[in-house]
Amino acid sequence: MIKNLQDTIQLNNGIAMPGFGLGVFQVPNDATAEIVKNGIEVGYRSIDTAAIYGNEAGVGEGIKQALASTGLKREDLFITSKVWNDGLSYDETVAAYEDSLQKLGLDYLDLYLIHWPGNNKYAESWKALEDLYKAGKIKAIGVCNFNVSHLQDLLKTARVVPVINQVEFHPRLQQVELRAFCKERNIQLEAWAPLMQGGLLEDPTIAEIATKYGKSNAQVILRWDVQNGVVTIPKSVRKERMIQNADIFDFSLTDEEMQVINEMNLEKRVGPNPAEFDFKM
Ligand code: NDP
Distance, CA of 67 to CA of 82 (rounded, Å): 23
Q: Specify the CATH number of the domain 8-198+231-236.
A: 3.20.20.100
Q: Which residues pair with 16 in a beta bridge?
A: 10
For ligand 1, whether the C-beta of 192 sits within 6 Å is yes
| DSSP secondary structure, 140-156, as one string | EEEEES--HHHHHHHHH
| Closest protein CA for atom 44 of ligand 1 | 192
Beta-ladder partners of 231: 190
Average pLDDT, whole number, for the chain?
Answer: 96
Residue 53 annotated as catalytic: yes
Give the number of the atom of ligand 1 that is nearest the alpha carbon of residue 235: 3
Q: How far is the C-alpha of 56 from the C-alpha of 63, rounded, in Å? A: 10
Q: Determine the residue of 27, 115, 192, 215 to mutate for testing ligand 1's pocket, defined as the one with the most ligand atoms within 8 A of the Cβ atom.
A: 192
Render pLDDT for 179-194 as a digit per residue (tens, 0 to 9): 999 999 999 999 999 9
Q: pLDDT at position 281, please?
A: 45
**195 alpha carbon to ligand 1 midpoint, in Å?**
6
- The ranges of the chain with pLDDT < 50 are 281
Does the beta carbon of 201 lie inside 6 Å of ligand 1? yes
The pLDDT tens digits for 207-252 are: 999 999 999 999 999 999 999 999 999 999 999 999 999 999 999 9
Report the nearest atom of ligand 1 relative to the CA of 82.
Answer: 41
